[in-house]
Structure 1
Amino acid sequence: MNADKFTKQYINGEWMNGSSEKTIENVNPYSEETINVIQSANKEDLDHAYKSAEVAQKEWQSLLPAKQQAYFESLLKVMRENKEEIIDWLVKESGSTRIKSQVEFNAAFAVVKESMSFPTRMEGTIIPSNVPGKNNFVHRGPKGVVGVIGPWNFPFHLALRSIAPAIATGNTVVVKPASDTPITSGLLIAELFEQAGFPKGVVNVVVGRGSEIGDEFVTHETPKVISFTGSTEVGSHIGELAGKHIKETALELGGNNAMLVLEDANIDQAVEAAAFGKFLHQGQICMSLNRMIIHENVYDEFVDKFTKKIQGLKFGDPSEQDTVVGPVINRDAVERIEKDVEESIQQGAEKLVSGETKGNLMAPTVLGNVTGDMPIAKNEIFGPVAALMKVGSEEEAIEEANNSIYGLSGSVFTEDRFRGMEVAKRIETGMIHINDQSVNDESHVAFGGEKQSGIGRFNGEWALDKFTTVKWISVQSEYRQYPF
């Protein structure tokens, strides 16, 4: 891969300098050294990208399914060939550990592979008519151009989770990557599509500041769908802009996910799951466990085993093979998390595990005796801090889990799987897992949240529905008689 390209924009198959006077500095969150500086895109660059995508879309959607699938087959081959470099970029740019980077690459590969099936899954239907001689056909087709706003936490996978199905269903895309990860959520993906031979204009990437092109990215007349993964605050603004301009959205937003540990749970297994679900990628995942809600009968046992487990996690340089916890994304995140921790301790939380913060590197932290009104329980933490809450009953655990504006993912641990299912049904969330942790994403299974965790579902047939539209076409085989 040619890293020199990653200082440029990718528009209509060409690498070009951004036209803005502003720049975006791309910083390694662990070393805090500058990776590169990118000349930002302005509104003229954005307009060029959208119009290029619009022109390319007409030809792209007309290709035979086998031809479109051949491009995706080539993309999978290119991804395999560049796997180690992709992982290196995730480590360097997003502070991902090598463990997390491997997980992310596998998820991204799976979503591209699933999307490759979409060109032959664009099914229509024939519906009977009550009008004599009429045949009703419902035809499925692409929306047109899709705007994708990429996140910084799982930048490669979560950007591709929209890009790949959108293109596979006959759309073209314009991507605005996250400013913290412009390469792994955008420019790197553009080069992979370029190496795979996709036609010019099918994928376009504009790297720019939100203050300069953020609103225009949504309100521009060309895109029919805006797909965004990120914070609820930004997602709400995007939804407001999109609604005003009658555009469809796919919004995957924040989460404050709970694990319920019932009194009959296998505590050893619950501890292993909680450690992974909380501390993978330093807890910077929308699906990460924020709250462990534990029945009082097993609370002490869970605390003892969980704290020992967390004290044994290696944290530090994310490039080292056995590092589990690396840096958070930037200094603002460090300060925000530390503020929530300190305020919660002032309100009565007990610090069970803690360590030194150095730069953006925060040692894994565990707080006990947390209550639902503390910042560490109310807020989406997005960092390496676990909140342990004690409850006296299953009913109280359910009420506590639902005591949140969010509803993305969750977990229930119990040896009675039927009981687990019944409890899961009562949790207000889009996804929940029995005897597993909350960080699950399979490319063929519905992914999305309730309440302020988002709108719509990603993956599989749900993504196919999101990025396509249906048209009713009726045909009269014999002419109708009209009343006048």
Structure 2
Amino acid sequence: MQANGLAPVQVWREKIYSGGWKTAEAGVLEVTEKATGERMGAIGCASPADVSLAAAMARDAQRAWSATPGPQRGDVLREVARLIREHREEIALQIVRETGSIRPKGHAEVELAIREILEAAALASQPTGMITTSDVKGRHSVARRIPLGVVGVITPWNSPFLLAARAIAPALATGNAVLLKPDPQSPVCGGAIYAQLFAAAGLPEGLFHVLPGGVQTGDALVRDPLVNMISFTGSTQVGKQIGAVAGGLLKRVNLELGGKNPYIVLDDADVEAAASAGAWGSFLHQGQICMSAGRHLVHERIAEAYIASLVRRAKALKVGDPFKGDFHIGPIVNERQAANVERIVADSVSKGAKILAGGSRDGLFFAPTVMVDVAPGMPVFEEEIFGPVAAVTVVKSDDEAVSLANQTGYGLVAAVVSADLRRAQRVADRLHAGIVHINDQTVVHEVFGPMGGLGLSGNGHNYSTLTNADQFTEWQWMTSRDDVPAYPF
């Protein structure tokens, strides 16, 4: 790390990080600015052979790391957090350019990542076991946590810096080595920057590897026999494939996948406050968040006022290149995704939905869109959109809202807005979701609450201060006696 900053272009140019920066066997990946398509550089693309070599190196380095006292492992993570604070502005701007996020979202991602890393550092100082009881006199019995070994982390492009931190940091804190495969659309802010940070913080060589690449790279990581766990955040389609392979290898796998998240607004809600929260939940980061509000289920008594407020807010949002100005909405990540949002909107209109705001795009810039008369069976009701679209369905009762909210195979996040907390709690208790918020929107991220989904949204294994120790360690039962007892054989 250089005195004047991270200087990523000088360090990661056309390389992977695996025992230092080195040439990758599979060539390079282009790194682009999403708003303009401008080439920012290139990074190495890891081959299956690169993955295999990295896994072997990581396994060897992990043995010494697991023997390092926990507080000393935590010190390395605390230094990483300090370095991120020192370079927060350049990291945030790299996120903005590489993912198309607006500046406030880039800065928030950096701050949330710092918190994830600091809480993981604290985990390294926590008790690692307990004395258990035994019904045999003279038998000393303990249960202790031991590292899994080598953890493979596969992250998406939408919040790459944050979602890498929440897996890398607790994995290292608990004594594991890490192989990180960032998404090929965000390999610098999702990977190369972390390589620089951990190297500068004094992490022993060989423990952390950054292996950018596509399907072949990810498949090699999942299948490698030296990789003991896979942590994957991404689409349900890919998550199913990873889960099938990892399950067949009896390998631990943590999947946080897509969502079609309901945002329920009851008839006693503050309409303006609810519409503001709903707009944030659907339009933040162009709706390209697994926790985005995918369906607004609004009581008929306030639906007209709510829709009017939502439309007004959507029309007031400014769309443009977030690196060049203060905009609310940046670009969709690529043409394929933008075309898919367009398809979902057009097909839903053909089935009876109406557009009251937006509905069109200029290249990758999709106008914030409000759709009404949305019903089950329409793509905008059924499919994860990953675009800035607020789909409104009017309901007649709390029961109908719950029924429609649960009419999906997903189960990531749900939210309920009401002036009556008891009523809201009764609704919340009936929702099928790994995360439920009352009087808030769906896009809420904290390290303290378990983050994970049910059904098609994941396997229910969560990231949080409450659950990270369970995620990244194994329980080992150990007994001892002063002498070998006599047995009848």
Fold shared per TM-score above 0.5: yes
Deviation digits for residues 273-329 of structure 1 (CA, Å, limit 9, x no counterpart): 111111110110010101100011110010111111111111111124531110010
Partner residue, 1:406:
410
Partner residue, 2:135:
130
Q: Is 1:244 the equivalent of 2:248?
A: yes
Partner residue, 1:14:
20
Query: Match of 1:437, SS?
Result: coil
Partner residue, 2:65:
60
Contact 2:414 2:435 in 1 (8 A): yes
Change (3 A) 1:345 1:356: closer
Deviation digits for residues 396-419 of structure 1 (CA, Å, limit 9, x no counterpart): 000000011110011100111122
Partner residue, 2:176:
171
Partner residue, 1:281:
285
Partner residue, 1:310:
314
Give the letter for the 2:402 counterpart. Answer: I
**Offset of 1:178 from its aligned partner?**
0.1
2:397 to 381, 390, 393: 393
Contact 1:283 1:382 in 2 (8 A): yes
Partner residue, 1:180:
185
CA distance in 1, matches of 2:324, 2:397: 43
CA distance in 2, matches of 1:463, 1:291: 31
Q: TM-score, normalised by structure 1?
A: 0.97
Give the letter for the 2:477 counterpart. Answer: W
Give the letter for the 1:229 counterpart. Answer: T
Give the letter for the 1:236 counterpart. Answer: K
CA distance in 2, matches of 1:121, 1:78: 24
CA distance in 2, matches of 1:461, 1:279: 30
2:456 to 441, 446, 452: 452
Contact 1:9 1:205 in 2 (8 A): no
1:153 to 150, 155, 158: 158
Q: How does 1:137-148 map to 2 (within 5 A)?
A: 137-148=142-153
Q: Is 1:441 the equivalent of 2:445?
A: yes
CA distance in 1, matches of 2:15, 2:54: 10
Q: Is 1:116 the equivalent of 2:133?
A: no
Partner residue, 1:95:
100
Give the letter for the 1:97 counterpart. Answer: I
Contact 2:353 2:372 in 1 (8 A): yes
CA distance in 1, matches of 2:414, 2:478: 43
CA distance in 1, matches of 2:271, 2:79: 46
CA distance in 2, matches of 1:461, 1:194: 28
- Provide the aligned C-alpha RMSD in A: 1.3
Change (3 A) 1:448 1:363: same
Query: Match of 1:4, SS?
Result: helix
Give the letter for the 2:353 counterpart. Answer: A
Contact 1:155 1:181 in 2 (8 A): yes
Deviation digits for residues 92-137 of structure 1 (CA, Å, limit 9, x no counterpart): 1000100111111111111001101111124212111122221210
The gaps in structure 1 that reach 5 residues or longer are none
**Offset of 1:454 from its aligned partner?**
0.5
Query: Match of 2:302, SS?
Result: helix
**Offset of 1:356 from its aligned partner?**
4.3
Q: How does 1:214-225 map to 2 (within 5 A)?
A: 214-225=218-229
CA distance in 2, matches of 1:209, 1:233: 15
Partner residue, 1:467:
472
Give the letter for the 1:254 counterpart. Answer: G
2:263 to 259, 273, 278: 259
Q: Is 1:294 the equivalent of 2:276?
A: no
Query: Match of 1:433, SS?
Result: strand
Stretch deviating more after TM superposition (128-137 or 290-299) = 128-137
Q: Is 1:204 the equivalent of 2:199?
A: no
Partner residue, 2:3:
none
Deviation digits for residues 24-68 of structure 1 (CA, Å, limit 9, x no counterpart): 222221101222223422122111111111111011111122221
CA distance in 1, matches of 2:147, 2:15: 26
Stretch deviating more after TM superposition (88-97 or 46-55) = 46-55
The gaps in structure 2 that reach 5 residues or longer are 1-5
CA distance in 2, matches of 1:76, 1:109: 5
Deviation digits for residues 183-228 of structure 1 (CA, Å, limit 9, x no counterpart): 1111111111112121101210112231x32211101011111000
Query: Match of 2:124, SS?
Result: helix
Q: Percent identity?
A: 37
CA distance in 2, matches of 1:45, 1:398: 49
Give the letter for the 2:463 counterpart. Answer: F
Q: TM-score, normalised by structure 2?
A: 0.96
Partner residue, 2:11:
5
Contact 2:95 2:101 in 1 (8 A): yes
Deviation digits for residues 233-259 of structure 1 (CA, Å, limit 9, x no counterpart): 000000011011110001110000010
CA distance in 1, matches of 2:31, 2:440: 36
2:419 to 394, 415, 423: 415
Partner residue, 2:49:
44
Give the letter for the 2:303 counterpart. Answer: Y
Q: Which runs of 4+ in 1 moved over 3 A?
A: 8-13, 477-481
How many residues get paired? 482
Stretch deviating more after TM superposition (355-364 or 460-469) = 355-364
CA distance in 2, matches of 1:477, 1:447: 45
CA distance in 1, matches of 2:421, 2:466: 28
CA distance in 1, matches of 2:108, 2:159: 10
CA distance in 2, matches of 1:209, 1:334: 20
Query: Match of 1:170, SS?
Result: coil
Partner residue, 2:327:
323
